[in-house]
Amino acid sequence: MADKEEVKLLGIWASPYSRRIEMALKLKGVPYEYVEEILEKKSPLLLALNPIHKKIPVLVHNDKTILESQVILEYIDETWKHNPLLPQDPYERSKARFLAKLVDEQILTAGFVSMARADEKGREVLAEQTRELIMNLEKELVGKDFFGGKTVGFLDLVAGSVIPFCLERGWEGIGLEVISEEKFPEYKRWVKNLEKAEFVKDCIPPREEHVEHMNDMGERIRSA
């Protein structure tokens, strides 16, 4: 790649979707400019770059605009090939993509969106559904430091940005324990491994502010 490249990321500090992109760029050692967006007041730049969905994250690379966080992760991986994110083996790669989709679609929906709308009894039902979904990840982590083995990869960034560093903050705000050490020892060990990685640690939102933000997001969902 050329020595001087424009790499700009539009994101929101509390969003797992933009935080995972920052983690990937830091892992790859790619210098970038970060532009903080405001949820309630989308900038003209964001609306110009993503006129269809009007959402973050948006990656701009040498005047090319890339949208949707998992698509952006794959673009980063194919553009800067060192420290690969996706497994080289086709089967392992397909499995990483499948489980990443499970995280962003089913786990996030059951574990936050639906939970925010539910009453106390409904939350317990959804918490159990979320546990059943996360158990797929627990089994995948047996005998591994990370999903990809010894190094942080694609699924680690997707699942890490959503579950321990986002959903768990939301559960904390409503006083709900979903993931226990007893039932999810592999998961808990994996989170500790993630927190030791500097490029991950740098991108974890501050806890207190994030818990408050997740409470606010829950209120938005309930009142929608």
Task: Give pLDDT tens digits for 61-116.
Answer: 999 999 999 999 999 999 999 999 999 999 999 999 999 999 999 999 999 999 99
Least Cα distance to 203 among 9, 50, 1 occurs for 9
Task: In whole angstroms, give the CA distance from residue 163 to residue 183.
Answer: 16
Q: Are residues 186 and 104 in the same domain?
A: yes
* pLDDT over 70 at 148, yes or no: yes
Q: Are residues 58 and 96 in the same domain?
A: no
CATH number at residue 75: 3.40.30.10
Q: Are residues 205 and 99 in the same domain?
A: yes
Long-range contacts of 137-140 (CB under 8 A, 24+ apart): 137/99, 137/103, 137/163, 137/187, 138/184, 138/186, 138/187, 139/186, 140/95, 140/99
Percent of the chain with pLDDT over 90: 96
Domain for residue 135, yes or no? yes
Domain residues for 179? 90-223
Residue 24: other Cβ atoms inside 10 A: 29
Domain for residue 1, yes or no? no
Domain for residue 2, yes or no? no
Task: In whole angstroms, give the CA distance from residue 216 to residue 51.
Answer: 26
Say what the pLDDT of residue 19 is.
Answer: 98
Q: Are residues 15 and 124 in the same domain?
A: no
Q: Are residues 204 and 131 in the same domain?
A: yes
Task: In whole angstroms, give the CA distance from residue 215 to residue 196.
Answer: 27
Q: What CA–CA distances, in Å, run from 196 to 62, 139, 156, 211?
A: 32, 22, 13, 22
Q: Are residues 95 and 178 in the same domain?
A: yes
Mean pLDDT of the chain: 96
Could you tell me the two tokens for 8?
A: 């700009």
CATH number at residue 190: 1.20.1050.10
Q: Are residues 30 and 140 in the same domain?
A: no
Instruction: Give 155's pLDDT tier (boundaries 50, 70, 90).
Output: very high
Q: What integer is the mean pLDDT of 209-213?
A: 97
Q: Are residues 65 and 161 in the same domain?
A: no
Domain for residue 123, yes or no? yes
What is the number of structural domains in the chain? 2
φ and ψ at residue 203, rounded to 5 degrees: -110, 5
Say what the pLDDT of residue 3 is.
Answer: 60
Instruction: Tell me which DSSP letter residue 167 carries.
Output: I
Instruction: Give 2's pLDDT tier (boundaries 50, 70, 90).
Output: very low
Domain for residue 113, yes or no? yes
- For the chain, give the longest Cα–Cα distance: 56
Task: In whole angstroms, give the CA distance from residue 18 to residue 112.
Answer: 18
Q: Are residues 62 and 138 in the same domain?
A: no
Q: Are residues 31 and 128 in the same domain?
A: no
Say what the pLDDT of residue 4 is.
Answer: 77
Instruction: Tell me which DSSP letter residue 149 carries.
Output: B
Instruction: Give 158's pLDDT tier (boundaries 50, 70, 90).
Output: very high
Q: Are residues 100 and 172 in the same domain?
A: yes
Q: What is the pTM of this model?
A: 0.96
Q: Are residues 131 and 171 in the same domain?
A: yes
Rg, Å, the chain Cα set:
17
Say what the pLDDT of residue 46 is.
Answer: 97
